[in-house]
Structure 1
């Protein structure tokens, strides 16, 4: 069996500080958890940043630069920066940090979509910060905007001009056809790395049948010129990772996608999730790709070509 690339999404922009005391917020917390996740087996670190005081999602270059050099010095993992930032940010704000850092990889959402987070309100009434409850509540009227013009701009600014390769985040079937459209225009070339994002309200549900359909559609559109990975937001995180591996795909875990290790048990770190999935995969006979093996598989420019 081919080696599996395990990505870890360290903090994200969806969960709020009140949801878990283990969600990394400060530069030191993000750096420590990133390095530990890499040591546990993550070949790729998918990174957002936050305001270190309020925990609010940020994409400011200075917030990224507060931890990127330390992560690079502390491990050899591929650093993959989000251009999604947060759905409440305009595009120029979302890409400010990645443009300054010029990473080996960055993510690119392949379409505009509803991005509903309000079910996470639950019965919680205690909030550490006054932004958290309105942020979640008002997501019933939230649209994540990534139009074809936006996508083309990111491909140019981060790809053509800065040499980054992309994690193409596909939340639904139509996003695969949008990616094929840009492939047909010659604006993206293989090997493509597609991340099937499942379980976000507004995108495809985290169900095995849907993953099979996404894969067979990608097979038809891209042939052998792509690799795919799967993330499932919430409680389907581990089960869908195993389905992805069984279909020949790669996997992603992390506190961006799910705060729990098992039902009712908060994960104490990203490394804890990485370790759990690694043990499950190895128990099934799989082995993990090293960061350098992932670089070779994805055609990355190398860590010596970044700006941090």
Structure 2
């Protein structure tokens, strides 16, 4: 049981959710505003992607990242910023020639994935710890690429959140720790219920958390209808939680959500279990995060 819970809000993601829920933020201002609303509702961390303001689809534009991060940092409301470093890793084989990427393929090198992190130095960034079948495409992160990306993150002083979509990802994340590519106490995020990664259930979560070191912190989330059940299960098993429109667009069946509503609902679950939500200040101390000026907190 975790009595002091870090709550992350994944505010927008990269999927085609904007056509399904108009509350999914698209522009840098909208994403920043939604991050601040989530923080005011009680979120500890805002996990952010960026989108093309014209199309609403995934973008890797570092200037859009810059505008977003600056807007959050300039706000009166405090929240820890967690930038995605997953970048372009989507591979869809071409029907005409399966040796080439077809429509929907979007690939970036480790250096390109790291660029917004290295430029903006958020307090946390993600590091997806392996390749996985992601629906009908493959998310590609070869191990040598991940070692290179982990080294870039390490040199920047940003805290990596080790994203694990399957059990083998936990194994490789531990290997990165063993090789000295992860500084300090490791921070894991178990990403559950995505087709076709690890299931969003108590047994899978119990196994994954059993494979991390005692000094590691961890969180878990489920997608879709499993978002709130995994909030409760994560707290009960001793972990932290994540909600947000990246992972689930409904407040309840048939009712579209906002990020702040999902945060408020998750906090209600956490409080009903007798636990509290960490403030950004307390989470910075717990996770030993650097400040924006590059100095340790």
Counterpart in 1 of 2:138? 143
Of 276, 291, 303 in structure 1, the residue corresponding to residue 265 of structure 2 is 276
Equivalent residues of 1:15, 1:256 under 8 A apart: no
Counterpart in 2 of 1:79? 81
Of 217, 220, 225 in structure 1, the residue corresponding to residue 215 of structure 2 is 225
Aligned ranges for residues 145-184 of structure 1 at < 5 Å?
145-160=140-155, 162-184=156-178
SS at match of 2:181: coil
Instruction: Report the alpha carbon displacement of residue 42 of structure 1 after superposing the two structures with TM.
Output: 0.8
Q: Structure 1: how far apart are the matches of 2:141 and 2:11?
A: 23
The count of residues paired between Structure 1 and Structure 2 equals: 276
Aligned ranges for residues 44-193 of structure 1 at < 5 Å?
44-74=45-75, 75-86=77-88, 87=90, 88-91=106-109, 92-116=111-135, 140=136, 142-160=137-155, 162-193=156-187
SS at match of 1:50: coil
Instruction: Report the alpha carbon displacement of residue 12 of structure 1 after superposing the two structures with TM.
Output: 0.6
Equivalent residues of 2:154, 2:183 under 8 A apart: no
Equivalent residues of 2:121, 2:292 under 8 A apart: no
1:133-185 deviations in Å (ceiling 9; x for gaps): xxxxxxx2x2211111111111121222x110111001111111101111111
Equivalent residues of 1:61, 1:97 under 8 A apart: yes
Equivalent residues of 2:163, 2:190 under 8 A apart: yes
Counterpart in 2 of 1:35? 36
SS at match of 1:197: strand
Q: Structure 1: how far apart are the matches of 2:194 and 2:223?
A: 6
Could you list the runs of 5+ residues in structure 2 that have no partner in the other structure?
A: 91-105
Q: Structure 2: how far apart are the matches of 1:39 and 1:104?
A: 19
Instruction: Report the alpha carbon displacement of residue 190 of structure 1 after superposing the two structures with TM.
Output: 3.2
**RMSD after superposition:** 1.4
Q: Structure 2: how far apart are the matches of 1:56 and 1:97?
A: 18
Q: Structure 1: how far apart are the matches of 2:184 and 2:120?
A: 23
Counterpart in 2 of 1:9? 10
Q: Which has the higher helix share?
A: 1
Deviates more, 1:49-58 or 1:201-210: 201-210
Instruction: Report the alpha carbon displacement of residue 225 of structure 1 after superposing the two structures with TM.
Output: 1.1
Instruction: Report the alpha carbon displacement of residue 189 of structure 1 after superposing the two structures with TM.
Output: 3.3
SS at match of 1:300: coil
TM-score, scaled relative to structure 1: 0.86
Counterpart in 2 of 1:255? 245
Q: Structure 1: how far apart are the matches of 2:149 and 2:283?
A: 23
Q: Structure 2: how far apart are the matches of 1:14 and 1:231?
A: 17
